[in-house]
Structure 1
Amino acid sequence: MKMNFLRKSLIAISLTSVFSYGVYSYGCADGWWGNDFNSMFAPETFVDKSYKPMFYDSYNFFYDYNPLQDYTSKFSDDIVADWSNYIGKSEPKEAVAYYLLNDTAAQYIPKLINKQSISGAKYGLNLKNKEAKNFLEFLQIAKKVEKYSTSQYYYWNYENRNQEKVDAKVIATIEDYFNNLGNKDEFYKNRIWFQLMKAKFYSNNVNDAVSFFEATKKNQSKNLLYYRALGYVAGAYYQKKDYDKSNVLFAEIFDEVPQLRQEALYNFRPVDEAAFLKQVESVPSKEVKAAMWAIYGYYADEFKAMQEIYKIDSKSEHINFLLTRWVNIQESSINVYQEKAISNPGNYHKEVAKAINQKQFKWISEVASKPDLLQNPELWFFATGYLNIFQGNFKVAEKQFDQAKIYIKAGDELAKNQIRLMQLINKVSQVKTISMKEEATLIEDLNWLLYEVPENIKYDNPFRFNYATNWVKKYLSSVYKNQGNQVMAELLNSNKVFYDSENNGQAMEEFFLKKNKTAWEELFVGLYPYNISDIYECRAINLYYAGKLEESIAMFEKIYPIKLRQYNYETDSYSYDFVDYNKRELYGNPFNGKIKDCNDCDHQAKQSVKYSSLDMLRKMKELKTNIEVGNDVYNNALLLANAYYNTSYYGNARSFYYNSIFGETGSNYISKENQYKLFDLSQAKKYYEIAFQAASDNEQRAKISYMLAKVERNEFYFNEYFSQSTYWGYNYDQVMVKKWDGFKRLKQDYSDTKYYQELIKECGYFRTYLGMQK
């Protein structure tokens, strides 16, 4: 039986040692939305920060794109602080840091030892006490070892992977010095011991590092240097593929040194189930056994690991981060970002309850019921309370949140916010209808979540409220929808098809213009992403594509200037300015109809008359009236047909339908909801045919025949390609040119016209068609 340790695809775990890094895989960085895109449960709330890299992350190997820190700099602050405290005030801390961390400082050390003057150094050393002199002697040794221990290579460089090894003579010199330290103080001896340990590890004989550690470890304090040295021992065993020993040592480091947990876990070698259990049994310490299971839980099975740790030591803190991972995994099957609107809030919790592993949740609930046996009972109460919401056990959840509160430390704002959020989710989950009673119960907490939290929570705060905010709005929206209150349902969860119904648009307009809104209504109006002019414009666009030209004009005329926050590129700042949508000009002349559909060309062409959307519609109404009364029917019908063509997906006036609610901004992709509007050329076809009937000569008829051929071509493209959900762009083997009726008519009836010759020059499709006739 194999243990699935590689669920996250750890690549080539340790290359040389615990401190010599290999490569690990980050997941799908493209499209990553953050950890709260489908989560309300922040593990940072209850678990020590040393476990942070191991929190659940659906995209990255380490949580929140938390890379292994470069070991040449990870402990810089600790090293400087230790030496500065040791030396005392005789040497400035900045000088201590300079000589410890700056590579160029190495050249000055021999001169300082020989009491020679130095020039070019940023700092000197006073060397007034023995500790400072010890520091100088230490530097001489450390800089020799450093050039071997900090050398780097890149994993993709297959031709230069050999790491330079410490020369045996250098090791012998350091070892001789260490053996003759005599009455030197313990701090200094410990630092020289670590340098010797490091030198032996980076030599050609790593076994010497192991034997040296075993012979001298009893004389060393179990400080950070001790466990870093133990990491070298583990790395030596790892190099020899003695994973029984290396894994146990990495687990010990994981347990004892929070600073090294990420590295220890990273270097833990996956083995099969039998070998792993044997390794666990070989460990006398319950703490290290628990650590081994914790690492197992990270790579393979959180739940099994929790059960085993609970048997070994129920108060082990390692069990806590595993619980957060389990909860985050469970909720990921419930919380689906941009989920469909909740159709029936009454059945919602019954449906999602099935997504939670009931057998495992039962065990976790039983553990939580015995808080005296746990190191972190507030986490367990909170976790079970959270998931009980989605079991429909609302009273149980509330009780567990109250129990969790008992353990929260004063001043822990993250924990307080997390519990308040879950209590709100629990309250909302119990709402079946919304009346003044429910409004009074929820309004204070909703105001906090919807307004205060976004204003006060900074981007680096781990509090997860984004998905919760969306969930609350969608849930309440579904309640309103079931009550028949479409306006409030739309305010809470906007859907652009809402405005396809003019009755809905009228109802929303009346609501916006209502003077005596309640505090509850104002709460959601303030969150609605659209203003009254957005609504008027969207309704006007929908009326236009519904063939209601006069009504569309009337709706556009309702638009008035709105104060909007806009970015000023000249001042590199935001400002609030009044914006009148009816002043925005279309990029091209919508009444032009050319041989080539080149929108960019039309946009760049000189335009004697510029049109806004409203100007265009008024002109179209004028043209339509002229046609109806029989005034210059050919030209008026041609111009009107061109306008309808250019306000489609294919034309130069696409910006007519740019609207935040309508949801189109000029992309080549048109949403399914809008395809029947923007690909529809029936109005253009209607007026081209009227123009054809009114044409007075063959030049006019030739032009209209070509315009109708373009309509026929585009209708073919839509039906054959654009309307298909699998269409992602033109393929060379797809049919792009056919024997359009308009092309046939041109060749058959109008080949003697000047327009026909212009087509041959400008239209490659037409030339292709003519080639098809040979």
Structure 2
Amino acid sequence: MDFDPPSNFSPELMMRDAAAYRPLFYDPNTTFYNGHDDQHPRRFNEEVTNDWYDFLDGKLTREQIAAFMLEGKKVAAIANSSSPKVKAFERFVRLAHQVDNYACTPINPWSYYNNPQSDTPQKTSEELVEEAIRDYRAETNAFLKNRYAFQALKALFYAGNRDAFERFFGEVEPNMPRNTLYYRALGYRAGFYIEVKDFCNANLLYAEVFNHVPAMRPVAATSLTLQDEKQWEQCLRAASPEQKTALWALLAFRTGDNDRAIRSIYQIRPKDPLLSLLVIRFINENEGRRWSLIGPPTKDADPKANHMKEIPRETFDLIRRIASEEKTENPFLWYAAAGYITSWSGDYDGANSLYDKAAGQMKAGNKEAADQLRLLRLVNALSRITEVKGDNVERLTEELRWLYKQNSYPGYGEGGMRYKTAIEQSATYLSTLYAKAGRPELAEMLDHSSEKIAQPGVVDKLIAVLENPRTPMEKLIVDMYPYTAEEFYFYKALQALHADQLIEAEALMKKAGKQGMTELYTNPFNDYILDPLDAHTRKHIKEAKVKYTPITLIQKMREGEAKIARGEEVYNNSLLVGNAFYNMSFYGTSDIWRVPLLNASIFELVPCYAQEMVMTSPAAKKYYRMALKAATTDEQRAKAVFLSIKCDRNDCYLGPIRGRALCDDQRYMNQSNSPNWLDRDGFGELMRYANTQYYRDVIRECGYFQLYVAKHKR
């Protein structure tokens, strides 16, 4: 996701048996990792399907089992089977479906507003409870007996009969295998304890469920009931060591008190994998609080923000001590975590020392662990650099090259190594350092922005380094940058064109490579009343019979300007040259500016450094006014005036965003958002030629002019 919080510490790779704990990894946006717990109707579908498939000895496919049992579909292979096991399966499923009618009652979330009682779940009927118990007692097959026992307990739970549930549970518990069904039944039993406010026993049962059924860990985490410290201590006294560690982990999940939980679990069972889970959650949560994970420690103006970023000294020392004692089941993780928080404190040498110890605990051939450690070392090395000095950045070139080759996705929560933050923040941080070092071109290449390109002289510096990178780091940056020297030559050529410096524009365009030789679809010397801004106005634009490229266009424009200078057909040549300039703009037909460096679908998104060039047409207006002076008929004058008016209109459109066009956001924010150019002199001038056909054509096609005429006829 684009809104992923920053992270360099990958829980899926740092946690052994990560899949079993994945829902409990830290997620800043939802209760559980990468989402909410919405698995209730289907949490065990795969497991129960596989269990029945094994029991049926392949007589039915998994798909047939799932269709009949989970979807309630008719399956011919079941209906037509004579196998005793298949018949037993069919009979069991029919009972289970009846129980599920009470257990899985669909709830309409809006029903309260219509009838608060309408969706109250019905209790299991006594007849169905008795049938399930009879089936359990009559069954002799261990596999089936186990499942009938669970269905009976489930029916009793949804009947709300706690006493009968306890009696039957006491009957079946000695013979129930300690499998998923048993722990699911413990969950029902815990629910009854909560009903009578016996929260301690409920919590102990949820601890059992948490320890033994990974799929139910989210259920246990949300079901833990906390009252006060006295109740908590009572639960701990009644708990086994295994239950205690689960309770502490659940407490940390619910309250965020990782320090206390880690300390307590470490005293009870140092090799408990829950320690790994909690330290990973602690690291990921604190990454999100810091936001910037590359660079020296910083202070915010807001004291609360600083407090959030600070790691309590007790926790800092605890993590480092646990790492150094090497008693956990994953010493590599603990040394890596200790090194990471040490780096946050600004002790980069201390962090490196801990990373060395992590490397010593890493299993040979574990590439994922090696890459994780390599990433943390690189982040540490970058964070200690506060200015570009000597070859301090150059020395990191190969490590940065390795980093930038990595895929920044999958995103947060999708598994795999978390490279995304390091890729983005390292480039941004180095960009800041290069800007301070007087290398704005490298700053731009690492962190592209319109404002950087707009700085005086930056484009020429970009061309220089793109054409001749001198150091390995510069070569790496050039390889990463999405634009080429040829694209900047093209941009400079357009700048020269905008300024009517055609000789310079041609010379630059010849350095622009394929962009300077790409054929233009339309004839740029044609003019139109309507600009081609949408499908309706584009339909009159035709493909050119004679194709121009940017280079040949400039050459043709030079010919036209030369003819004007010699006084040859000044009106026609002025219109043609003016049209060429106009059609190079955002509103024209040539789309010459629609290249990756400049392109945008709406004018507000044209890069600020190019908006003045793309959005206005001063050279076109100059030549249209020349045409007006040379005109000999009212038809000619009407056309020259109207085309000139279009240039004024476009300039007025740029008004509200001219601050942005100057890469000045503050000026942009202070400008009006309502350009009004209808009352300018242009339309009044055009009305002098109301006797012409061109005037009537404009009235027919131009809505703005229609408004102006209507206003001034009143």
Q: TM-score band, normalised by the shorter chain?
A: 0.7 to 0.9
Report the residue type matching 1:764 in the other structure: G
Report the residue type matching 2:586 in the other structure: Y
TM-fit CA distance, 1:231: 1.8
1:367 corresponds to: 319
Distance 1:668 1:586, change over 3 A: farther
Q: Determine if the alignment matches structure 1 residue 652 to structure 2 residue 593.
A: no
Within the candidate set 8, 17, 30, 1:40 is matched to: 8
CA contact (8 A) 2:431 2:442 kept: yes
Q: Determine if the alignment matches structure 1 residue 143 to structure 2 residue 104.
A: no
Secondary structure in 1 matching 2:60: helix
Give CA deviations for 1:604-634 in whole Å, capped at 9, x if unaligned: 5324333333333333322333333333222
1:11 corresponds to: none
CA contact (8 A) 1:737 1:769 kept: no
CA contact (8 A) 1:627 1:636 kept: yes
TM-fit CA distance, 1:418: 0.6
2:48 corresponds to: 79
CA contact (8 A) 2:251 2:261 kept: no
Q: Determine if the alignment matches structure 1 residue 685 to structure 2 residue 636.
A: no
1:480-519 matches, within 5 Å, as 480-486=434-440, 488-495=442-449, 504-514=458-468
Give CA deviations for 1:322-356 in whole Å, capped at 9, x if unaligned: 4333322332344459xxxx9xx7xx544589586
CA contact (8 A) 1:659 1:665 kept: no
Secondary structure in 2 matching 1:93: coil
2:518 corresponds to: 584
Give CA deviations for 1:346-378 in whole Å, capped at 9, x if unaligned: xx5445895863242652333322334655443
2:478 corresponds to: 525
Give CA deviations for 1:268-318 in whole Å, capped at 9, x if unaligned: 56x7xx558635644522654554554454454354664675587474543
Distance 1:174 1:660, change over 3 A: same
Within the candidate set 677, 685, 709, 1:745 is matched to: 685
Question: Aligned Cα RMSD in Å?
Answer: 4.2
Distance 1:474 1:99, change over 3 A: closer
Q: Determine if the alignment matches structure 1 residue 675 to structure 2 residue 615.
A: no
Greater CA drift, 398-407 or 669-678: 669-678
TM-fit CA distance, 1:229: 0.9
Within the candidate set 157, 161, 183, 1:201 is matched to: 157
TM-fit CA distance, 1:482: 4.2
1:377-456 matches, within 5 Å, as 377-431=331-385, 432-433=387-388, 435=390, 439=394, 441-451=395-405, 453-454=406-407
Distance 1:354 1:442, change over 3 A: same
Secondary structure in 1 matching 2:605: coil
TM-fit CA distance, 1:546: 5.0
Distance 1:700 1:322, change over 3 A: farther
CA contact (8 A) 1:289 1:312 kept: no
Within the candidate set 335, 348, 358, 2:310 is matched to: 358
TM-fit CA distance, 1:177: 3.3
Secondary structure in 2 matching 1:44: helix
Q: Determine if the alignment matches structure 1 residue 598 to structure 2 residue 598.
A: no
Within the candidate set 679, 702, 712, 1:763 is matched to: 702
TM-fit CA distance, 1:763: 1.9
| Long gaps (5+) in structure 2 | none
Q: Normalising by structure 2, what TM-score?
A: 0.81
| Long gaps (5+) in structure 1 | 1-31, 110-117, 561-579
Within the candidate set 491, 501, 506, 1:538 is matched to: 491
Q: Normalising by structure 1, what TM-score?
A: 0.76
Give CA deviations for 1:651-698 in whole Å, capped at 9, x if unaligned: 333x32222233545565333333333233332332232222222233
Report the residue type matching 1:767 in the other structure: Q
Q: Percent identity?
A: 27
Q: Determine if the alignment matches structure 1 residue 637 to structure 2 residue 577.
A: no
1:27 corresponds to: none
CA contact (8 A) 2:571 2:626 kept: yes
CA contact (8 A) 1:623 1:636 kept: yes
CA contact (8 A) 2:604 2:657 kept: no
Greater CA drift, 392-401 or 403-412: 403-412
Give CA deviations for 1:30-55 in whole Å, capped at 9, x if unaligned: xx3274x6322212222233222232
Q: Determine if the alignment matches structure 1 residue 326 to structure 2 residue 286.
A: no
TM-fit CA distance, 1:407: 3.2
Distance 1:328 1:637, change over 3 A: farther
Report the residue type matching 2:316 in the other structure: I
Structure 2 distance, partners of 1:464, 1:76, is: 31
1:41-190 matches, within 5 Å, as 41-47=9-15, 48-65=18-35, 68-69=38-39, 71-72=41-42, 74-82=43-51, 87=55, 92-93=57-58, 95=60, 97=62, 100-103=65-68, 120-121=77-78, 124=81, 127=84, 132=85, 136-137=87-88, 139-149=90-100, 151=104, 153=106, 155-156=108-109, 158=111, 161=119, 166-180=124-138, 184=140, 187-190=143-146
Report the residue type matching 1:446 in the other structure: L
Structure 1 distance, partners of 2:618, 2:458, is: 26
Secondary structure in 1 matching 2:595: coil
Structure 2 distance, partners of 1:497, 1:734, is: 25
TM-fit CA distance, 1:162: 5.8
Structure 1 distance, partners of 2:486, 2:352, is: 43
Structure 2 distance, partners of 1:433, 1:141, is: 73
Secondary structure in 1 matching 2:312: helix
Distance 1:139 1:313, change over 3 A: farther
Report the residue type matching 1:171 in the other structure: V
Give CA deviations for 1:35-80 in whole Å, capped at 9, x if unaligned: 4x632221222223322223233444432347533544x4344335
Give CA deviations for 1:374-430 in whole Å, capped at 9, x if unaligned: 554433332232233343211011112122233333443222211111112222333
Structure 1 distance, partners of 2:431, 2:122, is: 66
Q: Determine if the alignment matches structure 1 residue 301 to structure 2 residue 256.
A: yes
Distance 1:241 1:282, change over 3 A: closer
Secondary structure in 1 matching 2:640: helix
Structure with greater helix share of residues:
2
Distance 1:275 1:672, change over 3 A: farther
Give CA deviations for 1:183-212 in whole Å, capped at 9, x if unaligned: x46555333211211222344646644553
Give CA deviations for 1:473-528 in whole Å, capped at 9, x if unaligned: 344444444444455545444445665579554554454544x9665554443323
Structure 1 distance, partners of 2:194, 2:626, is: 85
Report the residue type matching 1:695 in the other structure: A
Distance 1:358 1:454, change over 3 A: closer
Structure 2 distance, partners of 1:314, 1:233, is: 27
Structure 2 distance, partners of 1:503, 1:239, is: 74
Q: Determine if the alignment matches structure 1 residue 624 to structure 2 residue 561.
A: yes
Aligned residues between the structures: 682
Structure 2 distance, partners of 1:108, 1:307, is: 49
CA contact (8 A) 1:231 1:253 kept: yes
Greater CA drift, 169-178 or 496-505: 496-505
Q: Determine if the alignment matches structure 1 residue 264 to structure 2 residue 204.
A: no
Structure 2 distance, partners of 1:375, 1:413, is: 19
Give CA deviations for 1:528-557 in whole Å, capped at 9, x if unaligned: 323443343233334434554322222221
CA contact (8 A) 1:95 1:124 kept: no
Structure 2 distance, partners of 1:633, 1:226, is: 97
2:633 corresponds to: 697
CA contact (8 A) 2:99 2:128 kept: no
CA contact (8 A) 1:760 1:767 kept: yes
CA contact (8 A) 2:221 2:254 kept: no
CA contact (8 A) 2:123 2:160 kept: yes
